[in-house]
Amino acid sequence: MARILIGVSGGIAAYKAVELARLATLAGHGVRVTMTDAAARFVGAATFEGITGAPVLVDEFERDPLRGTYPGEAMPAHDPISHLAIVEAADAYAVAPASANTIAKLAAGVCDSFLTTAFLACAAPRIIAPAMNARMWEASATAANVAVLRERGIVVLDPAEGALASRGEHGSGRLREPGEILAAVEAAVAAPGPDLAGRRVLVTAGGTREPIDPVRFIGNRSSGRMGVALAEAAARRGADVTLIAANVDLAVAGGIARIDVASAAELDAACREAFAASDVLLMAAAVADFRPTGAADAKLVRERPGGLSLELAPTTDILAGLAGERRDDQVLIGFAAEHGGDVVSRARRKLERKGIDAVVVNDVSDAAIGFESADNEVTIVSREGEEPIPRGSKRQIADAILDRLAALF
């Protein structure tokens, strides 16, 4: 069971933080709550105190009657500095709801309350569950603050869509349900340790674009989410990560070396450059199998008697090429999106044909998983057998894949 600090900032959704505290306490976690002055205008400290069995802290100069401990624990003999002691003992710190104002302060490192001061001092996993009006969530200032926080490895949950507090307004900005927030907190607490420390992991992500002319291309629907999740998970586990991103429109956590490419040929060149210095290759990019021969130098025009036919030539199989030059101490894992049928047998044939160690396969005929979706469900096909990984967020799937990888070393 974990020690969870919940930071409640000002907003109507503060009442849902009561349910979060209740669920976390019921699940057996030790829960402490800090709230801002603004939060106290929406919900009373006595409610949290009744649920958690511990005093609520508001002011950064306040002394903690529990001396930084969590409910049920023995108190130290000395009186520590409250905001430091409470986060030092925490296994996770969840700010829920996080208002636009609090998010701005957390991004800037402002320390003007117990909540913000403790956040800056916290080395445990930090989870932010925003709640605000859709226009405030979509404002570029908020987007920039959220990007900064995510770059620092802080988990910022996307708010839910639906009816907002302001009458008649609909949009993105609702606080995630308390059960979902607790699940994110528990996932962060359970995150594995640095079992890939010292390993050099090369990840490819996204989908290549093969030019037809200067403005058009043949592409695919890969968002890069799975590859980015793998790169971030490997970095969290201590690996030295290089991400080669093909047309990926996603922010990536800090500490990852990112190389952006567009076409299969560029991806091939970047992989060849980085492969020798890698212990592991996770080839999650969706690479075009064909490219138009001789892309036009100028934009093709509509007036063309007889229409337009494109001649396509096969691209290089990057993964098979790298497997051909691998050292024995390198691990190569391919990814295959198959559309229905016996996906495992097809994955096994790819494993043999490309000469790699494993293929992670998913069935993209199921709309709930795969391309552009937040969730995935895969089977790891290796020479030893097949292992199904149950449906989960791409972050959970990434960690499950890396668990197998870490076991190989």
List the catalytic residues. Answer: 220
Q: In angstroms, give the least distance from the CB of 308 to ligand CTP.
A: 24
∠ CA 159-96-127, nearest 5°, is 80
Q: How far is the CB of 288 from ligand CTP (least distance, A)?
A: 7
Taking the least distance from each CB to ligand CTP, the nearer of 9 and 204 is: 204
Residues 297-316 that bind ligand CTP (CB under 6 A): 315
Binding mask of the shown chain, residues 239 to 268, with x at each position contacting ligand CTP by CB under 6 A: -------------------------x----
Asked if 381 touches ligand CTP (CB under 6 A), the answer is no
The one-letter code for the residue type at 123 is A
Looking at the Cβ atoms of 30 and 206, the one nearer to ligand CTP is: 206
289 binds ligand CTP (CB under 6 A): yes
Residue 285 sits in the site that holds ligand CTP (CB under 6 A): yes
Other CB atoms within 10 A of residue 24 CB: 26
Closest by Cα among 66, 158, 68, 187 to 121: 68
Task: Output the CA–CA distances (angstroms, integers) from residue 153 to 38, 99, 149, 402, in the order listed.
Answer: 27, 19, 7, 18
Is residue 317 near ligand CTP by the rule CB under 6 A?
Answer: yes
Residue 393: is it exposed, middle or buried by C-beta count within 10 angstroms (0-12/13-18/19+)?
A: middle
Instruction: Answer for the pair 246, 224: CB distance below 8 angstroms, yes or no.
Output: yes
CA angle 115, 121, 124 (to 5 degrees): 95
CB of 316 to ligand CTP, least distance (A): 6
Q: Do the beta carbons of residue 128 and residue 149 sit within 8 Å?
A: yes
Distance, CA of 275 to CA of 409 (rounded, Å):
18
Binding mask 127-166 for ligand CTP (x = CB under 6 A): ----------------------------------------
Compute how many residues bind ligand CTP; rule: CB under 6 A: 13
Q: By C-alpha distance, which of 132, 81, 95 is closest to 5?
A: 95
Residue 398 contacts ligand CTP per CB under 6 A = no
Q: Where are the beta strands (DSSP E) in 239-393?
A: 240-246, 257-261, 280-283, 290-292, 312-314, 331-338, 358-363, 375-382, 385-393
Q: Rank residues 12 and 265 by Cβ distance to ligand CTP and give the closer one.
A: 265
Q: Considering only residues 283, 323, 364, 397, which one is a binding residue for ligand CTP as defined by CB under 6 A? A: 283
- Indicate whether 334 belongs to the interface with ligand CTP (CB under 6 A): yes
Q: Which of 91, 154, 335, 402 binds ligand CTP (CB under 6 A)?
A: 335
Nearest-approach distance from CB 61 to ligand CTP, in angstroms: 55
Stretch that binds ligand CTP, among 109-117, 223-231, 280-288, 386-394 (CB under 6 A): 280-288
- Give least dist CB 262 to ligand CTP, A: 15
Q: For residues 339 and 363, is the Cβ–Cβ distance under 8 A?
A: yes
Distance, CA of 236 to CA of 397 (rounded, Å): 14
Choose one: 213-221, 284-292, 298-306, 374-382; the region binding ligand CTP (CB under 6 A). 284-292
126-130: strand order across its sheet? 30-35, 3-8, 92-98, 126-130, 155-156
- Judged by CB, which is closer to ligand CTP: 256, or 318? 318
Site for ligand CTP in 336-375 (CB under 6 A): 336, 350
Q: Which of 287, 380, 389, 405 binds ligand CTP (CB under 6 A)?
A: 287
3-state secondary structure of 43: coil
**CB nearer to ligand CTP: pick between 97 and 370:** 370
Report the largest interatomic distance among the alpha carbons of the chain, rounded to a whole angstrom. Answer: 89
CB of 321 to ligand CTP, least distance (A): 8
Q: Minimum distance from CB of 312 to ligand CTP (Å)?
A: 13
List 96, 231, 261, 319, residue binding ligand CTP (CB under 6 A): 319
Give CA–CA dist 57/64, Å, rounded.
Answer: 7
DSSP, res 40: G
Note the residues at the interface with ligand CTP (CB under 6 A). 264, 283, 285, 287, 289, 315, 317-319, 334-336, 350
